[in-house]
Amino acid sequence: MTAPLMSLTWTDHLTGRQGYLVVDRLVRGVSSGGLRMRAGCTLDEVAQLARGMTMKEALHYTPEGRYIPLGGAKGGIDCDPREPGAYELLVRYLRAVRPYVESLWTTGEDLGLSQDLVDRAASEAGLVSSIQAVYPLLDDEVTARRRLADAFAVEVDGIGLDELVGGCGVAESALTALDRAGVACAGARVAVQGLGTMGGATARFLTRAGLTVVAVADIKGTIANPAGLDVEALLAARDAHGTVDRSALRPDDRELPGDAWLSAGAQVLVPAAVSYAIDTTNQERITARWIIEAANMPVLPEAEELLSARGVTVLPDVVVNSATNAWWWWTLFGDIDAGADAAFAHTRRSMRALVEQMLARAERDGTTPRAAAHAIVADRLPVIAERFAWYR
């Protein structure tokens, strides 16, 4: 991997905890990438995620769109978000990296953090907004910011639109793969790891498309039911960290160990929680035909090789989970209005086109979908660099 443009390690003066910021690339002086908080987060992980953001931005480049891709970046803080003092640590981190957020890094929620929390901490750290670095690129800043604020105020059946678009994109990726393979959605079985922002929304959209969610795992373990779980009841029983209150389970739902979601008899697996969830050892238990990477880097490269050799298709994170990021910019730059209908329609159209393109390229080149996505990015980055400067 070539070196990122910039990477820094922050050490909290009170606790000794560390946080990281990696800016992989700039386009017109700005980069985009969420902020995660998890115990064990490393600089290397953040650097890989920042590279992934460069790819996600490039993949959504369409010359006719108003949204022009940004560079990729990522932030990470090595701390369990449920620990006492985690919020204060987040505020101190944001105070430390404030000059970057003000000038070149737009950020938002990622694993372990909600957008509300990031917004509250950013304001306490003296920032106008977590995405203020992009404002100088807007034609009409006031209207654009109002449109995005309006979009964030939209709720669909109890869940904010900002927490739904990502999962809408993940679900559409899965549906595109099923359609291409001629497999009917009705009754196809799904298992999801993580029922937070990404996993929760993905489970909702796949259920509404006619699939049956037979297992979901959260930090406390797996909940399974071969006849299908009541996804909406589980979504309503989540706390702010995406943990399901077990008292909401139905009598025939079963509680199983944390890794049971891997072998719950699903055709579609959606890892939507942590990185590195599927390794060379536990991949042996997978009998699914597709793995749809809602999380970032959930399948280790050596595991993917083994899976691919026995016909399991992995749809890669850089494509599958790219819709949240793109939706912020489609809305802010004015490609879509603030409503849910436009958001879901544009997400579905864009994700289907992207997944089709990737799968067609993989077929043509005889590679994995991931290698095909990387090849598409390799074609696009020089075009973006030629049309738009690194610095503004």
Ligand X SMILES: NC(=O)c1ccc[n+]([C@@H]2O[C@H](COP(=O)([O-])OP(=O)(O)OC[C@H]3O[C@@H](n4cnc5c(N)ncnc54)[C@H](O)[C@@H]3O)[C@@H](O)[C@H]2O)c1
List the one residue from 33, 69, 76, 112 that touches ligand X (CB under 6 A).
112
Q: Does 217 bind ligand X (CB under 6 A)?
A: yes
CB neighbour burial string for 381-392, b if at least 16 within 10 angstroms, e if fewer: beebeeebeeee
Task: Please give the DSSP secondary-structure letter assigned to residue 241.
Answer: T
* Alpha carbon of residue 267 to chain centroid: 21
Q: Is 166 in the site for ligand X (CB under 6 A)?
A: yes
Q: Of 100 and 261, which CB lies nearer to ligand X in the complex structure? A: 261
Instruction: Decide: is 164 part of the binding site for ligand X (CB under 6 A).
Output: no
From the list 87-95, 142-150, 269-277, 372-380, the region that binds ligand X by CB under 6 A is: 269-277
- Does position 262 bind ligand X by CB under 6 A? no
Determine the interface stretch with ligand X among 9-17, 182-190, 268-276, 327-335 (rule: CB under 6 A): 268-276
* Phi/psi of residue 214, nearest 5 degrees: -100, -15
198 contributes a contact to ligand X by CB under 6 A: yes
Which residue, 29 or 299, is less far from ligand X as judged by CB? 299
| Binder among 72, 160, 194, 369 for ligand X (CB under 6 A) | 194
Q: Which residue is nearest to ligand X (CB)?
A: 196
> What's the closest the beta carbon of residue 242 comes to ligand X, in angstroms?
3
The answer to the question of residue 54 lying near ligand X (CB under 6 A) is: no
- Give the largest Cα separation in the chain, rounded: 60
Q: What tokens does 147 get?
A: 């449109």
Q: What is the distance between the alpha carbons of residues 74 and 238, in angstroms, rounded to a whole number?
A: 27
Determine the Cα–Cα distance for residues 31 and 57; give it in Å rounded to an integer: 9
**Which lies closer to ligand X via its Cβ, residue 226 or residue 258?**
258
Helix H or strand E encompassing 326 = helix 323-333
7-15, 118-126, 270-278, 304-312 -> range binding ligand X (CB under 6 A)? 270-278
Residue with tokens 């979601």: 261
Taking the complex as a whole, the smallest distance from the CB of residue 147 to ligand X amounts, in Å, to 19
Q: DSSP label at 191?
A: E
Give the number of other Cβ atoms within 10 Å of residue 68's Cβ.
18
Tell me, by CB under 6 A, how many residues bind ligand X: 29
What is the number of alpha carbons within 13 Å of residue 302 lying toward its C-beta? Answer: 5
Residue 10 and residue 19 in contact, taking contact as beta carbons nearer than 8 Å: yes
Considering only 283, 324, 347, 350, the residue that binds ligand X (CB under 6 A) is: 324
The footprint of ligand X (CB under 6 A) covers 36, 109-112, 166, 193-199, 217-219, 241-243, 258, 272-275, 294-296, 321, 324
